[in-house]
């Protein structure tokens, strides 16, 4: 699952983790959001799922207000160790630029279907019920991240 991640990177040049063989998933579910100052600033939303970090790039940043939604482009799976990564990816390397942790915390998985992943996030900036939504009519990698309205 990390083949694409590894193919894109030269680990002699970048300090990003190469990723260990996937061990059995630990109990704790965490998420992390990286603020990534690449050629185009974006935020990478990552969830521990299936032994990797499932990842989405969000050009405008994750929604923080109830009812807000943002386009989230699914990108390659990242290794679990990436959750702690901060640093500067060198020029000429894939994703060159500074990477900082913008938020992180635990999450609860409410439901997971091919088109919809419902979550409760327990971060400092992202808190409460969120939905990752991937309608069939969307392009393959295009999702929406929505912060649910409070009832
Ligand atoms: Mn990125």
pTM of the model: 0.92
Q: How far is the CA of 104 from the centre of ligand 1 (A)?
A: 16
21 pLDDT more than 70: no
Q: Which two tokens stand for residue 27?
A: 């109990």
What pLDDT, on the 0 to 100 scale, is given for residue 34?
98
Kind of pairing between the strands at 142-147 and 30-37? unpaired
What pLDDT, on the 0 to 100 scale, is given for residue 26?
59
Read off the pLDDT band of 24 (50, 70, 90): low
Q: Annotate 91-105 with b (16+ C-beta within 10 A) or e (fewer).
A: eebebeeebeebbbe
Answer with the residue of higher pLDDT: 1 or 129.
129
Q: How far is the CA of 43 from the centre of ligand 1 (A)?
A: 7
Q: How far is the CA of 139 from the centre of ligand 1 (A)?
A: 19
Q: How far is the CA of 99 from the centre of ligand 1 (A)?
A: 8
* Residues whose beta carbons lie less than 5 angstroms from ion ligand 1: 36, 44
151 pLDDT more than 80: no
25 pLDDT more than 60: no
The per-residue DSSP string of 88-129 comes to: EEPTTSTT-EEEEEEEEEEEEEEEE-SSEEEEEEE-SSSEEE
Do the beta carbons of residue 9 and residue 76 sit within 8 Å?
no
In three-state form (DSSP H/G/I as H, E/B as E, the rest C), the secondary structure along 130-143 is EEEECCCCCCCCEE
For residues 14-35, give the mean pLDDT.
83
Q: How far is the CA of 151 from the centre of ligand 1 (A)?
A: 33
131 pLDDT more than 80: yes
Q: How far is the CA of 67 from the centre of ligand 1 (A)?
A: 25
Burial of 147 (0-12, 13-18, 19+ CB in 10 A): buried
For residues 24-49, give the mean pLDDT.
91
What pLDDT, on the 0 to 100 scale, is given for residue 150?
78
For residues 90-109, give the mean pLDDT.
97
23 pLDDT more than 80: no
Q: Which two tokens stand for residue 111?
A: 């439901």
22 pLDDT more than 70: no
State the average pLDDT for the chain.
Answer: 94
Q: How far is the CA of 24 from the centre of ligand 1 (A)?
A: 26
Half-sphere exposure of 87 (CA within 13 A, CB side): 12
């Amino acid at each position: 699952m990390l083949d694409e991640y590894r193919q894109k990177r030269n680990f002699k040049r970048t300090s990003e983790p190469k990723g260990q063989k996937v061990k059995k998933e630990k109990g704790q579910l965490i998420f992390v959001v990286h603020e990534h100052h690449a050629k185009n600033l974006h935020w990478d939303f990552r969830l521990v799922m299936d032994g990797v970090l499932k990842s989405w790039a969000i050009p405008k940043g994750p929604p923080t207000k109830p009812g807000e939604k943002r386009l989230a482009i699914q990108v390659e799976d990242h290794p679990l160790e990436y959750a702690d990564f901060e640093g500067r990816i060198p020029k000429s390397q894939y994703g060159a630029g500074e990477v900082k942790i913008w938020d992180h915390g635990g999450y609860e998985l409410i439901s997971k279907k091919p088109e919809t992943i419902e979550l409760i996030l327990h971060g400092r900036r992202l808190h409460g019920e969120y939905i990752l939504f991937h309608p069939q009519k969307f392009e393959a990698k295009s999702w929406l991240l929505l912060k649910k309205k409070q009832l």
